[in-house]
Amino acid sequence: MVTCMGREGKNMRRRFTSSLLVVTLAAGIVVVPAPDLARAAVGNVTFTLSSPLENGKINRLTRLDGIAVDPDGDELQNGGYLIKRLSDGKFMQYTASANPADFWVADGHGGYGLYKGENGQYYRDLDAWQIDALYEEGEYEIRFNINEWNGTEMSSNFKNVRFTIDKTAPRITGPVLSDGAIVLNFSEPLAGGAALDKADFEVLINGTPAVIDFVAPDEQRTFAVMGLSSGAHKGDIVTVRYAPQGMPATDAAGNALSSEAVAVDNRLIGSFQSVPQIDLPKRAGYTLQAGDDIVTFSPTDSLANQIIFEFPTDGDNRTSIQRLALKKSDLVLWNNTDETQIAPAAIFVAGDDYGLTVLLPDGVVLEEGKSYTLALSGTAGGDEITLLPTPTTAAGASLITMGTNGIADLYTFANLEFAPYVPPAKTPAPDLEKVTVINNSLGADVLIVDGVGREVTVKVYDQAVGGSVLASMTQGAEPGRLLLTVGDGIALPTVYIAAQAPEMAESSRVAVTVPGIVQKELLRFTLQGATTLYMEAVEGVADGQYPLGAKAELQTAIQAGLTVLNGTLYTQADVLQALGAIDEAVEAFRAKKIVIPGGGTPVSPPTTVPSPVLKVVENGVVLGTLPLTRKTDATGRVTDQVDITDAVAADLVARLKAAGANALHLVFAEDKASNKAAKLTLSANAADRLADAGLSVNVSLFQTQAVIPAASLKAAGQTVEFEIAPVTAQSDVEAVKQRAASNADLRKKAGNGVLTVLGVPVSIETNLPQLPVKLFLPLDGAALSEEQKQDTGIYIEHSDGGKELVQGRFVTNAAGVSGIELSVDRFSLFTIVQVEGWGTLQPYLTGYDGGLFKPDAAITRAELAAILAKVIRGEAWGGKSAFSDVADLHWAKRSIERVGQLGLMQGDPDGKFHPERTITRAEMAAIIAAWLPSQNAAAATAGARAFSDLQGHWAASSIERAHLAGIVNGYQDGTYRPEQALSRAEAAVLVNKLLGRAPELGAVPKFHDVPSAHWAFGAIQAAGK
């Protein structure tokens, strides 16, 4: 290799006057001092080095050799060199020491001479001490110096050559045996030259030499593949050794490949300790069910953590896995040896839908010699894997286990036979209406299933698919009721039952909701009180005694209650019914108590008149009664009052919670013809107790309902008084109507249309300090259209003198009664009124969150349809009402149908409305023209050239007509811009003009982004809310 020596230019030459050679005879070394750079010049000699090669690797340096050439023909003079160790920057220099480490010093001055031969050759055989000094592996650099004479001056030429001392022999590393071949890696590339032949290697299998077929190195000689004839097996101990028959293979530095024996990583695949067994039912078309086994096997090592099973196939006749249905929880790996199970960490289904990979959890491996079975778990749905559909005798399958080192065991199944599958008929599922669950507080829970056929087995599962059987019972020879007992109780919100008749498949599982625990403590407490009353009562005719036979009736009721209390087959409804029966029996018994004024013995048994009571009913079950205080005032109005103390509230809370209720319902009367009022008082402690239990109080009179939420009860902080009094006298109703009709604020808000009173005005008085209460006021049977609902609201005369007109929410309550619902925190007189035309005066454009109106946002066709349907009154003339792109659930469907029927908005020729498309100024003008009276049409034609950009436009006449009517305007440049999207601000201005609604100026802005200086401020104020 020829390389130019470093050259700094002949123009920098300086005369070299120092001595060139100093012969040190004692050491036998020619020392060439470094030239004096202040006087020396640099030449242009090129130097070709053959020993060492530049950037070459050698294991020992003994000679320096190279050829120097001057292109100018100058005379070559003496040469020298200096060796530097790059690892620490020290230079080689002789010292009188026997330790080669002392031959390296920090001072780099001086050097050693080169011998000059013929034809520019410079060489030097290194002295023994120099060879010894190069003992350390690593990189070195030789600085060569060749002098030249051009007849007038001396020049110096320098060349730096790097090389590496490498004394480490290459080795065979990481040999791996798989698929009948060993791959040998070399610790470093081997140099060319010596062959790597099969005769140069020795392989032992369990100590016995193996026959090597070939050795094939790669082109860079970094590895070689060795083929074996001798049969090796999984688990065999294999070694390989390099034993050259001739010149050994070396690395680039000349170090021979090591001959040490190296253990081979034997990765040959096993075939399991015994033949694996296919366990799945060999029936074509069969769908594996929960608990079905798939395959059983025993691994040959303890390394594998994956199982790959390719289900039986025969060409295109394949098993099918529903990859979306199959979950890792649908599979389980049973360790048959240890009688344990392993849940897969993950599963994968191959793209062909019949290969399944199961990954075991971290740290879990299959253990050598143990038996495993892969199966569907008990929670599998039974619809995930269907075996090949067509019967065959030639199906194949395969089972593979894998670990971090690749395949551990592999077995291929062949000639598997699958017979036709005829599924049995499915048993009908149990009728849910015939299933009752008794969730007892103690002991066993019971499921009662009625109408079970003969010899039918009913099972109770804890899951919808798979899972465990909680209870099972088989019906006898006669059909009828079946009782299934769950001994440890049911701790689940839902159980699943299935039935299976003889020679039929099990039915689908039916989900059964488990009710709350049957609460019997209140019944127990009530029975104790009734029993005490019974034991202390005395029959007779004296004062304080009870008529003969009265105790027997009470005892019968007590015995019936005890039967429910001690039984395990009674639901919560049965308990509540028994509780109500005991209460009624006790009440009836106490009413029979003989009371004789002044004492003594009556001539005949006295008669008793029961006191009025209010029943507490939940889901049709009487939970108890509350005594009423009934008062009649001078006008004949009857007021029924209920007083609830803390003790009464405690009893009510227990009963309501046992019934699963979330409110105390107090229904005073339903007879609208009666002149009644209802009053409730709650002590402060009673209100707190009900609130703490999360119970609201619902007071109902003549279908008027008031709901006092628990939060308001809690915040009251005092005795709560609440009274509802309907206004039934016609004169009083008429007076309310007159006051409403003459109220200026009402008229300003709702207009001057005819005012009608709907339903019955209701006066509500309470001492709740401005706490929210939800009211429901019935419409008294009035059926209202959508337009009439927009005209309808509630006129309120507050007790503080304030009056207001509000719109509530039209609802139908649980009893099927239609009315208006609203939340209030001030009380007095509430009257449902209808003001004709009010709906057209209401705001029709809604703002956005954060108090924004977004005036420049475009408006869609659906949004404009909703606005028009809200503000326009009139009869439909029969326009198109159904559009193919307006779904039944679209939020504006009814509005779109309405404007279509009115002929204001039409679809395209394909019958589409395009509800989400923005509406253009031209389309808005067309809507306005359809809205305007027809007499404006002639004027529109006369002014058809008012705008410069309407020539030939489809809506030109409609635009001009709307313009002449003073509704739409153009721009200052004389254009109308018909295809420009209509903004929300423009929509407000145009619709207000059509409605004749004046701008609202001078008010506080309703929206943050529409200040009073906005061009459409007044229109948006009037239209928006």
CATH number at residue 482: 2.60.40
pLDDT of residue 26: 31
pLDDT score of 27 more than 60: no
Of the given ranges (35-39, 130-134, 145-149), which has the lowest mean pLDDT? 35-39
CA distance 591 to 604: 17
Of the given ranges (348-352, 539-543, 682-686, 852-856), which has the lowest mean pLDDT? 348-352
470: closest CA among 446, 450, 438, 448? Answer: 446
pLDDT score of 348 more than 60: yes
Mean pLDDT of 621-635: 78
Residue 597, domain member (yes or no): no
pLDDT score of 745 more than 50: yes
CATH number at residue 234: 2.60.40.1220
Mean pLDDT of 586-602: 76
- Please report which confidence band the pLDDT of residue 398 belongs to, taking 50, 70 and 90 as the band edges: very high
Mean pLDDT of 835-851: 80
Residue 147, domain member (yes or no): yes
pLDDT of residue 939: 45
Same domain, 318 and 371: yes
Same domain, 753 and 770: yes
Same domain, 753 and 777: yes
CA distance 291 to 466: 8
Mean pLDDT of 465-476: 90
pLDDT of residue 701: 85
pLDDT score of 588 more than 80: yes
Last residue of a domain, one of 147, 165, 183: 165
Angle between helices 684-692 and 646-658 (to 10 degrees): 20
Paired tokens of 605:
């048994």
Same domain, 262 and 331: no
The amino acid sitting at 47 is F
pLDDT of residue 587: 83
pLDDT of residue 918: 93
pLDDT of residue 41: 42
CA distance 31 to 27: 10
pLDDT of residue 29: 38
pLDDT of residue 217: 93
Same domain, 204 and 292: no
Same domain, 799 and 896: no
Same domain, 762 and 835: yes
Residue 351, domain member (yes or no): yes
Residue 135, domain member (yes or no): yes
Kindly compute the dihedral angle of the four CA atoms of residues 550, 556, 557, 562, in this order, to the nearest 10 degrees.
140
Q: What percent of the chain has pLDDT over 70?
A: 91
Residue 987, domain member (yes or no): yes
Same domain, 897 and 1013: yes
Residue 917, domain member (yes or no): yes
- In the chain, the number of structural domains is 6
Last residue of a domain, one of 491, 513, 535: 513
CATH number at residue 71: 2.60.40.10
What would the 3-class secondary structure string for 577-645 be? Answer: HHHHHHHHHHHHHHHCCCCCCCCCCCCCCCCCCCCCEEEEEECCEEEEEEECEEEECCCCCEEEEEEEC
Give pLDDT tens digits for 298-308. Answer: 999 888 999 99
Same domain, 901 and 801: no
- Please report which confidence band the pLDDT of residue 933 belongs to, taking 50, 70 and 90 as the band edges: low
Residue 119, domain member (yes or no): yes
Same domain, 197 and 157: no
Higher pLDDT, 672 or 990: 990
Is residue 500 a contact partner of residue 507, using CB atoms and an 8 Å limit? yes
Same domain, 342 and 199: no
Instruction: Mention every residue, 6+ apart, whose C-beta is less than 8 A from residue 516.
Output: 439, 572, 660
Residue 644, domain member (yes or no): no
Instruction: Mention every residue, 6+ apart, whose C-beta is less than 8 A from residue 241.
Output: 201, 202, 203, 259, 260, 261, 262
Q: Which of 597-611, 705-719, 902-916 has the highest mean pLDDT?
A: 705-719
pLDDT score of 769 more than 90: no
Average pLDDT over the chain reads 85
Last residue of a domain, one of 266, 289, 319: 266
- Please report which confidence band the pLDDT of residue 669 belongs to, taking 50, 70 and 90 as the band edges: low
Domain that holds residue 306: 277-420
CA distance 116 to 795: 126
Give pLDDT tens digits for 772-830. Answer: 889 999 988 778 877 788 888 888 988 878 888 887 888 888 778 888 888 888 888 99
Same domain, 453 and 395: no
